[in-house]
Chains A and B, each alone.
Chain A
Amino acid sequence: MELRADFPIFRDSTGEHPLVYLDNAATTQKPQTVINRLTEFYAHENANTHRGLYPLSLVATDAYENARVVLQKFINAPSADEVIFTRGTTEGINLFAYSWGRTFLQAGDEIIVTEMEHHSNIVPWQEAVRATGAVLKWVPVKDGELDLDVYDSLLSNKTKLVAVGLVSNVLGTINSVKEITARAKKFGALVLADGAQAAAHMAMDVQDLGIDSLAMSAHKMYGPTGIGALWVRGELLDTMPAFMTGGNMIEDVRHDGAVYQTRAHKFEAGTMPIAEVIAMTPMIEWIQNVGFEKIRAIEDEVTRYAMEKLGAIDGMIMYGTKNLSHRAPVFPFCLSDVHPHDVADTLGSMNICVRAGKHCANPLHNALGVAATTRASLAIYNTTDDIDRLVEGLNEVKRIYE
């Protein structure tokens, strides 16, 4: 596949057991253009951004701010100054939970989360309600999808925020966030969407979804680690106090106080990961060059193949919805009584990379009634050959452990 050739990690992996990388929900591999951009910046363009009056700094600032515009367009945000660079989804949600949560939540207010959220979209809200006396409500999972009847029954005028993932990192469920948001809006609640697992697989249009905030991580969409973004609707962002304070986010500091910058810049304290921000531009260009239509078509084909081949293995228990139109390419499973750690360890010895455990989703595993699962998660470069290797590996696991 020609797309695969853009990723040097596969080009360099040859021999008896070439790399089969099926842990893309944890992090994706990086195309050469993204890697090159990081190197080019450090080799030829390195300077701190903002307020440098010399050309090198101006060039770096331009590239940094250009990435903000590229990202704005990618998620169809109304304005680039609503796009805050963060360390990733976790930091983005924490930023919102600290800044908005501790300012506006009051005792008795309610936040709705779902049982299929990643811990990063649960624990910041647990902390926020602990600090304010607000209450956390949970939407349960039924047959791999959110139970929207229960969701309806949870919504009320007390609901101040709904925090929901666009795609589950364990089940791969594509949640109907547009519908969830429309229902929340009837009660005047805000909606924050966790886009970490969606970004590499489907278009995210914040205006079409109607949401108020979106968090994402570059490293799960073919970009660098340590960088991501939080989009917050402008008028809402204007009401939120600074999260971290210090250099860069300042307009003026006096003995008796300080004046902060506005919008996104108010939330970017200290020197940011400049190279990583700048490398998000070729990351998004790479995704857009392929296009989400093609991405979805390729991933759908491999998904269908995987569901069929994995489902045919004796002793295989697969979790998640069977409705493939609601499903991103993530497959959690249990194989007979073999512990997921043993499954992943054995596959690892064959250079097949999958993850085993609870995948930072303990409440979901409790709801599923399993201690742990093995998870294979795909990206655009995975092929049906990778699935064949996985099936071979799982047969080897059965041979050893059964």
Chain B
Amino acid sequence: MDSSRELILDHMKHPRNYGALADATHIQNEVNPACGDEMKVYVKISGDVIKDISYEGQGCSFSMAGGSLLTEHVKGKRVKEVSGMSEDDMLALFRGPVSPARLKCALLAYGTLRKILSE
């Protein structure tokens, strides 16, 4: 198995930042109607910093690992910096090619977080 696949499986089986965040300042739900994947992102923003972030949901390895990889990547970063994150930046977190069929899954958590940050 290649390293990207191992990374995804690791984050799927041992998700980081999984579960509700009691003192979240922002919560956002998203679904991917095509496959039924569900994503809920909790963020605690203090000043201009993402102090804490978590996610819950159900779906395939790419959508669930995406939540884990994204939350790990952005925690503690400035809102401005995270707002500037592109889709390609998100896909780069998977450290390997994401096939077109899995793009929506891979970007589900990212899209959910963007909704919060664009408010």
Chain A interface (Cβ < 8 Å from any Cβ of B): 339-342, 345, 356-358, 365, 371-372, 400-401
**Is B9 within 8 A of A341, CB to CB?**
no
Q: Which of A341, A371, A372, A400 contacts B62 (CB 8 A)?
A: A341
Q: Is the CB of B58 within 8 A of A341?
A: no
B79 to chain A, nearest CB (A): 32
Known: A340-B60, A341-B62, A342-B61. 8 other contacts (CB 8 A): A341-B35, A341-B101, A341-B105, A345-B99, A356-B35, A358-B36, A371-B36, A371-B37
Q: Would you give the shortest CB distance from A373 to chain B, in whole angstroms?
A: 10
Q: How far is the CB of B117 from chain A (nearest CB, A)?
A: 27
**Residues in B whose Cβ lies below 8 Å from that of A345:** 99, 101-102
Bound Cα distance A372, B38 (Å): 12
Chain B residue with the shortest CB-CB distance to A402: B13
* 23 pairs from A and B in contact (CB 8 Å cutoff): A339-B35, A339-B59, A339-B61, A340-B35, A340-B60, A341-B60, A341-B62, A341-B101, A341-B105, A342-B60, A342-B61, A357-B34, A358-B34, A358-B35, A358-B36, A371-B35, A371-B36, A371-B58, A372-B36, A400-B1, A400-B9, A401-B9, A401-B61
- Determine the chain B residues whose CB is within 8 A of the CB of A341 once the complex forms: 35, 60-62, 101-102, 105
Contact with A along B27-44 (1 / 0, CB 8 A): 000000011110000000
Given contacts A341-B105, A400-B9, contact A372 B61 (CB under 8 A): no
Cβ-closest chain A residue relative to B64: A339
Tally of B interface residues using CB under 8 Å: 15
Kindly name the residue among A339, A358, A372 whose own CB sees the greatest number of chain B CB atoms within 10 A.
Answer: A339
What's the least CB distance linking A120 to chain B, in Å?
A: 17
Separation of A340 and B62 alpha carbons in the complex (Å): 12
Query: Which B residues are closer than 8 A to A by beta carbons?
Result: 1, 9, 34-37, 58-62, 99, 101-102, 105
What chain B residues lie within 8 Å of A401 (beta carbons)? 9, 61
**With A and B bound together, what is the CA distance between A236 and B14 in angstroms?**
62
Contacts of A371 in B (CB 8 A): 35-37, 58
**Whole-angstrom distance from the CB of B60 to the nearest CB of chain A?**
4
- Is the Cβ of A339 less than 8 Å from the Cβ of B34? no
Q: Nearest Cβ distance between residue B62 and chain A, in whole angstroms?
A: 7
Q: A339-B60, A341-B102 are in contact. Are A372 and B35 (CB under 8 A)?
A: yes
Contact residues in B for A357 (Cβ distance below 8 Å) = 34-35
Residue of A nearest to B61 (CB): A342
A333 to chain B: closest CB distance in Å? 16
How distant is the Cα of A340 from the Cα of B102 in the complex, in angstroms?
Answer: 12
Expressed in whole angstroms, the minimum distance between the Cβ of A62 and any Cβ of chain B is: 43
- Chain A residues whose C-beta falls within 8 Å of the C-beta of B9 in the assembled complex: 400-401
Give complex CA distance A104, B33 in Å.
34
Which chain B residue lies CB-closest to A349? B5
Q: How far is the CB of B42 from chain A (nearest CB, A)?
A: 22
Report the separation of the CA atoms of residues A357 and B60 in the bound assembly, to the nearest whole angstrom: 11
Contacts of B102 in A (CB 8 A): 341, 345
A223 to B: closest C-beta gap in Å: 26
Closest chain A residue, CB of each to CB of B38: A371
In whole angstroms, what is the CA distance A401 to B34 when docked?
Answer: 22
B101 cross-chain contacts in A, Cβ below 8 A: 341, 345
CA distance A110 to B102 in the complex (A): 40
A365 to B58, CA, bound (A): 16
- Bound CA–CA A372/B37 (angstroms): 9
- Which A residue sits closest to B99, measured CB to CB? A345
Question: In the complex, A43→B95 CA distance in Å?
Answer: 48
Give bound CA distance, A154 to B61, whole Å: 42
Q: Tell me which residues across on chain A come within 8 A of B58, comparing CB atoms.
A: 371
A80 to B101, CA, bound (A): 42
Closest to B13 in A: A401
Which single residue of chain B is at the shortest CB-CB distance from A366?
B36
